[in-house]
Amino acid sequence: MLIGYARVSTQDQNLDLQEDALKKAGCKEIYSDKVTGTAAQRPELDKAKARLREGDTFIVWRLDRLGRSLKDLIDWVAYFEAEGIAFKSLQESIDTSTSTGKLIFHMFAALAEFERNLIRERTQAGLAAARARGRKGGRAKALSPAKRQRAVELYNKREVSVQEICAMFSISKPTLYGYVREGNRG
């Protein structure tokens, strides 16, 4: 079965163009949302996903109607492939039921993975360069060394409750416990 999905970003926009194209493509059922593509909740898309079965074809007017990011689109196509569902985008002429359509999406996936690897490599190189210049990563300590030492002393003496120590120094329990671990090691 051919199942279509249309989406516009605002209530003021009209779905007619997309729905007409999906009907012309042979869609027997069309699900339509009037919600931004970045919204977590797209109820009609969820209904379409629940309706799809192995052997069906899911059709959108344009790729950006399904997902806003390449990663999102790749996740959808991976889901469709795992479920035995073909995917078509009318405007981009992509059809994963064909060898060419599958190739295009595998190229998208490879490019996305390449981009993630480049970002990871640049991040690691930047951190290494910063460490070589003597910079440490992470958040700055909330308290001076003297105040940290005093907080640890109060904690170890057990004369003041953890809540009171945290209130005195305006720190959280996890921060205090981190100082205690650090103080008891050194």
Residues acting as catalytic residues: 9
93: left (phi over 0), alpha (psi -120 to 50) or beta: left
* Residue carrying structure tokens 């969820």: 46
Contact status, residue 58 vs residue 87, Cβ threshold 8 Å: yes
Q: State both tokens at 167.
A: 């209130």
Q: Going by C-beta distance under 8 Å and a sequence separation of 6 or more, which residues neighbour residue 8?
A: 14, 15, 18, 33, 34
Give the pairing of strands 86-89 and 94-95.
Answer: antiparallel
Q: How far apart are CA 36 and CA 66, in angstroms?
A: 11
Using the Cα atoms of residue 109, residue 111, residue 113 and residue 115 in order, give the sign of their dihedral.
negative
With 0-12 / 13-18 / 19 or more C-beta atoms within 10 angstroms meaning exposed / middle / buried, residue 27 is: buried
